[in-house]
Chain A
Amino acid sequence: MIKTFRRLSYIPGRWIKTPIENAAERMALARIVYSVFFLFYLSYTDLRETGYMFGWLLPRPFGTLPRPNELLLPWVEPLLVLLLVLLLFGLWTRVVTGLVWLVGSYWVLVLQAAFGMDKLLVIMGVYVPLLACFSHWGALYSVDARYAKAIPERGVRHWVYFWPARSMLILLAFLYFSAGFYKLIYPGGWLQNPSFLSDFLQIKPIQSVISNGTPLNPLVTFIAQYEWLTRIGQYGILAFELTFPVVLVSGAAYLLYMRLLPFFHAANAFLFGIPFLPIMPAYILLFDWKNFLDATPIEIDRWRTFPLTWWQSVGIAGVVALGWNTTPIPRFLFGGFGLFESNRSFWYLMLPIILVWYGYNLWQWWRKRTTEGGTAGAVRAAPQAE
């Protein structure tokens, strides 16, 4: 029995231990982007609004938790902000990540119990910090690295830095598959009702406009008229979700699905008004930030150890946290300099950036291909010329 278990555990073990380029750099940069993204999200929420809350409906396992003290509640967000700024700087990273997990979990609970907000918040507030607090995402680009006896070598490919991203991929594969599976089996739902998506296209955007002011796309009623269009959506979404676990076994599928994901979410945001923002930290763990920043003029390698001292980091984090609810400045800075009406406008900025990034990669690939082709041609041509 134990032998069989060991043999079976060899396969996921081998998968999780596959070396990956720039493992330490990728995860450390993911830590910074995660902190900034969480602060961006927080800058558009305000727990002080719970003074007007009409309900306190807790998820089942937490059913006995008392309603939060309204004097204490306004301090939850500044505390989370303090921790996230410390995480951004990479100070006492493991402990701070653990605290982000604890305070983040409470923040998620309050938002869900009081406002019934997005269930996916658990990805951002619970899953990512829980996975990361046992990892080494503070090893680089951090204040911790400044005080460490040794930091990872450049381009280190060791899996121990990257396993939280791989674990997240397993969870994502399960979530996508189960979302597709429920669509498949739910009676009277996705497949059985031919007008399901057409109806949903007409109802959900309106719901989003009313509940959170997401802009209404005039195309939805146009699309909803054409059954063949909604049928493509109906089967396309189902196929995408059900086949998502293929990313775990095929590198090519992983590349393809990761490139399709932004369009999947952007379409959800533009057509249904569902931006799926709290799931973004899952992709933040998976994205190759080192590769991305290397393509920009930012010389990120100069910051492998942050120049801040621990007391400077604590001071800055404290100032930001204290100013969070007392001045508009931190929310303005982390909320995108007033560029967004709400965090739900995220995709209006992100999709063009992603398209430019894809275009750049395509251009690089084409340039490399033609250069290599030209060089190879020249090498081949040389003996003939002789």
Chain B
Amino acid sequence: MDFDEQRQLRLAYAITGVLLVGMIFLPIYYIWPFMHWNLYSSIGSASTDTYTTYRVQVGTSPPTNMYSYDFFTSDDYSSTQERMRLILDLIAETPNDQIGRPRRIVFNVLRSRGFAAEAITLQQCTITQNRNRFGLASSSESCEDFKVLADGDRQ
């Protein structure tokens, strides 16, 4: 079969170029394929994001920051572990209508630490982050402390 090779090559350049340049320069970051995580989506445009971070300290271990990726799905109580239920209840008391995910986060922290901790400290931080179009951020945060020392005790 005969082809006009120069025409085909120009076509290949044009289509590839349009897609590549479009991906880089057009303001379509929302459908930019690799922007899978909300974490990176604020880069490329000025924005103000408010998100919640949970800092969990188990025993004497250093605090672990748990990032909350989404909060719109409700969850259920699925465990009978008493210590965990305390934590879950504790979080459920917070004036936050998006309480599903944090329960699971704490559940996982406890599970990964083998439930060996004597004291569990939980801090809920609301972080407001202002970002300019170059991705430079300035942020402010406010935190609430909770501490579970033993069953039923709360500070």
Contact = CB atoms under 8 A, between A and B. Distances in A.
A60 B27 contact: yes
A328 interface: no
A60 B28 contact: yes
Contacts of A182: 34, 40, 43
Interface residues of A, number: 57
Contact of B112 (A120, A160, A221, A279): A221
Given A119-B36, A152-B1, A203 B31 contact: no
B32 interface: yes
B50 interface: no
A286 to B, nearest CB: 15
Interface string B17-45: 00110011011111111111001100100
B34 A175 contact: yes
B8 interface: yes
A174 interface: yes
Most chain A Cβ neighbours within 10 Å, of B5, B64, B67: B67
Contacts of A224: 108, 112
Contacts of B104: 203, 206, 210
Contacts of B3: 158, 160
Q: Chain B contact residues (Cβ within 8 angstroms of A): what range? A: 35 or more
Interface of B: 1, 3, 5, 8-9, 11-13, 15-16, 19-20, 23-24, 26-36, 39-40, 43, 64-70, 73, 75, 100-101, 104-105, 108-109, 111-113, 135, 137
Nearest to B107: A206
Nearest to A132: B15
A256 interface: no
Contacts of B30: 59-60, 112, 119
Given A61-B28, A170-B20, A193-B65, A202 B109 contact: yes
Contact of B105 (A12, A178, A202): A202
B31 A122 contact: yes
Identify the interface centre among A130, A151, A195, A206: most chain B CB within 10 Å of its CB.
A206
A221 B108 contact: yes
Nearest to B56: A199
A221 B64 contact: no
Given A120-B34, A206-B101, 12 more contacts: A59-B30, A60-B28, A160-B5, A174-B23, A182-B34, A182-B40, A186-B135, A195-B64, A195-B65, A200-B67, A210-B104, A211-B73
Contacts of B26: 61
A220 to B, nearest CB: 8
B16 A199 contact: no
Contacts of A134: 11, 15
Contacts of A60: 27-30
7 closest cross-chain pairs (CB), A and B: A59-B30, A167-B16, A202-B108, A163-B12, A179-B34, A59-B31, A221-B112
Contacts of B39: 186, 189
Interface string A112-131: 10000011101100010011
A274 interface: yes
A283 B74 CA distance: 36
